[in-house]
Amino acid sequence: MNRLFLTIIVICLIACQKQSAKENNQKKTDIGKKAVINEEAYKDTLNFNSNYPLGKELKNAINDPLTDKYFLEVFKEGKMVPHHDDKKMLSITDSLLSNDQNKDFFYFVVFTKSLNGSDGFYSEAAGAKATEFITTKTEWFADYFNIGPTLTKNDMKNWASFIVGEIQIEKEGYEPKAINELVSKLRENLRGRRKEYSVVLENFIEYIKEVEKKKITTTNHTYTAASPPHSPAL
């Protein structure tokens, strides 16, 4: 009788231990899921985490009393903000290639956000500057979009759209060839660099191809609609 009683107690203890272990594993899984969600939130919101290196740099630039107030306005709005002075607007494109190591990421973010809602003369200037940046500072581009706070997939798509637009202006009639050359150059620029950068770049290249295909399709449809029907052969 005593043995049976002890056996039952042992079985109960083992069952309790298994249940406890299962609950602990579930908690770890939940924590892991929350970490992923928090990481996405960290990258996809202007309420960024300033504990990361680039986050600290961004916060310092925002809190710097010497930082241009117009730049701060564009950053906070997350889109282009019209200004009565064209030169002030274009100063955003000029800042993209700044050598100021304390604010270069801030300038990159401001420029990127300015692509939202921009048009006219600013769009042309932005397309040219974006192309120059990505061909000369490919590693910076990949690094920023890899771990940079506030940068989203939509931001990267905007970069792709503006660069394809620039190619259409500068290489009209030779767009596919120009895009292939650009892709080859970007890949070469990251040869031997961190694998994460290549992942970012390949995602960007996919966006470029999507934009290229969309623009070509739109152009073809426009041409077809504007062309008169062929006369039937006699």
> What is the per-residue burial (b if ≥16 Cβ within 10 Å, else e) of 110-120?
bbbbbbeebee
Q: Which residues are CB-contacts of 49 (< 8 A; sequence separation ≥ 6)?
A: 42, 55, 149
* Percent of all residues in the chain with a pLDDT value above 90, rounded to a whole number: 66
Rounded Cα gap, residues 145 and 152, in angstroms: 8
In this prediction, residue 51 has a pLDDT band, given cuts at 50, 70 and 90, of confident
Per-residue model confidence as pLDDT tens digits over 77-117: 999 999 999 999 999 999 999 999 999 999 999 999 999 98
Provide the pLDDT for residue 220. 46
Task: Provide mean pLDDT across the span 11-24.
Answer: 52
Whether 74 and 113 have beta carbons less than 8 Å apart is answered as: yes
Per-residue model confidence as pLDDT tens digits over 62-80: 999 999 999 999 999 999 9
Whether 152 and 43 have beta carbons less than 8 Å apart is answered as: yes
Location of structure tokens 């809602």: 117
Length of the chain: 234
CA 12 to chain centre: 54
Which one, of 99, 96, 184, lies nearest residue 133 by Cα? 96
Lowest mean pLDDT among 18-27, 73-82, 112-121, 147-156: 18-27
Rounded Cα gap, residues 147 and 165, in angstroms: 26
Angle (CA) 163-69-141 rounded to 5° is: 30
Rounded Cα gap, residues 35 and 169, in angstroms: 44
In this prediction, residue 12 has a pLDDT band, given cuts at 50, 70 and 90, of low
Return mean pLDDT, the chain: 81
Whether 115 and 158 have beta carbons less than 8 Å apart is answered as: yes
Location of structure tokens 């299962």: 22
Rounded Cα gap, residues 217 and 214, in angstroms: 5
Provide the pLDDT for residue 17. 55
Task: Provide mean pLDDT across the span 114-137.
Answer: 95
DSSP symbol at 80: -
